[in-house]
Amino acid sequence: MAAIERQDEGFKGVAFSRRTLIIGAPLALTACQTALVGLSNQPPLPDDEFDYELAYAAKEEDEFRIPAIDYKAFDRKFWRQVVDYDTRERAGTIVVDPYNNFLYWTLGRDRALRYGIGVGKAGFAWSGDAKVRVKRPWPIWRPPQEMIARRPELAKYWEEGYPRGPKNPLGARAMDLWQGSVDTLYRIHGTPEPSSIGRSVSSGCIRMWHQDVIDLYDRVPLHTKVVVLSEEASAKTA
């Protein structure tokens, strides 16, 4: 490509050799691979100059106000960041490690975008492979019947659902995981309880900060493969 640009623009400079182009090709390919993973117009990946203050600041979306995250109060490992990650999964795969409280979005070449997560009871109840079949912005939440049995006051939300908004148990986004035509009832979703990130909690599936679940939502297309690690598999990656 560089040689073509030189010919078109007619500038005088050092000629590009075949060897230079061949050596540069892997670098160009790496850049293309990263750019091709996920949806177009997605946010830039975090780098050494990433502005976390801005990333986790309060924001307005539709009629909702998303509160800022006091991210400095959490271990830095739970901040959104690109990390080394040895995996056989193809680039563009979501890997959920509920036992170490991480979610990875693989980028290829043993790199991944990692997010901190909070894991509810349902998050430990299922492991395996699935796909993102449904993506919901500002979803309505309906409590499962077993939760209503424990907390009858939630029955009022069964028919019409809990109203959309930052206080909704599913938060700003939800991604529903299916195996073929079967809903696993496993969800990757936001949370109105930011302090739950990095912890095991009593309810929910895979919780993320609002700002992080929006970021992931804006990257992954429908039918993205999701791998939820078992406790045994998680121990091997630790």
pLDDT tens, position by position, 82-118: 999 999 999 999 999 999 999 999 999 999 999 999 9
Decide the pairing of beta strands 182-190 and 206-208.
Answer: parallel
Active site (catalytic) residues:
189, 205
Which domains does the chain possess? 1-36 (no CATH), 41-237 (2.40.440.10)
- The predicted-structure confidence for 162-193, as pLDDT tens digits, reads as follows 889 999 999 999 999 999 999 988 999 999 99
Q: Is the pLDDT reported for residue 10 higher than 60?
A: no
Confidence of residue 238 (pLDDT cuts 50, 70, 90): low
For residue range 138-156, what is the model confidence (pLDDT) as tens digits? Answer: 999 887 777 778 888 878 8
- The confidence band for 12, taking pLDDT boundaries of 50, 70 and 90, is very low
Of residues 71 and 141, more confidence is placed in 71
